[in-house]
Structure 1
């Protein structure tokens, strides 16, 4: 569940990332500073934290017999942005879908169902 919440936070961050990076680039050009690298690094670190959290969620989902679709899509979405910020829009779409599947947490299709009553 925490991974799904973090994916939602990353969606919001990825939406504003281009505006922040472009804004700091314009500010750097006018003031002669270099804050763009720090701003971009923050978003990249958040993306790679998302990859790590989704890998942990994948392992825990596999052990619990829960569907692994959400964590797998979360890994892909976070890695897309982690590789390059140019992939922000596809990363957003994949992370939104990943969040839905992560929050569902239904049993995997091949999980053993115990019907003893």
Structure 2
């Protein structure tokens, strides 16, 4: 079984997004309060950055899902990554559940275990991971 660098980078992005989602509310609220006192409109830009990162996470996890499927790697991490990123992408109010799902997704996607239906090409026996 091959280890995909794409899965490693997707896991790293999932962890980065966890940190970003954790600070997102503080950044958005602080810019909202500073906008109110200054008459500016920086809140939209701050929120758009976090939403863009969430949707980049969705796209990267979809690409990782497709590549993992081609290489017979478990899809659990990619699916959870899509769900976690999409939760925040739809609304920042779901930041905490998105962070929890993304942490679990990052662990699974970095493990890169073979899928359950993976058959070793040499002896046609299901491959069991050795520890």
TM range (shorter): over 0.9
Which residue does 1:59 correspond to in 2?
Answer: 66
CA-to-partner distance for each residue in 1:42-99, whole Å, 9 max, x for gaps? 0000000000000000000000000000000000000000000000000000000000
Measured in 2, the distance between the counterparts of 1:115 and 1:100 equals 29
- Give the TM-score normalised by the residue count of structure 1: 0.97
Give yes or no for the alignment of 1:15 onto 2:39.
no
| 2:97 pairs with one of 54, 72, 90 | 90
Give the RMSD, CA atoms, in angstroms: 0.8
Per-residue deviation at 1:114? 3.1
Structure of higher CA gyration radius: 2
Measured in 2, the distance between the counterparts of 1:106 and 1:113 equals 13
Structure 2 gaps, min length 5: 1-7, 124-131
Give yes or no for the alignment of 1:38 onto 2:45.
yes
Structure 1 gaps, min length 5: none
- Give the TM-score normalised by the residue count of structure 2: 0.87
Measured in 1, the distance between the counterparts of 2:29 and 2:61 equals 28
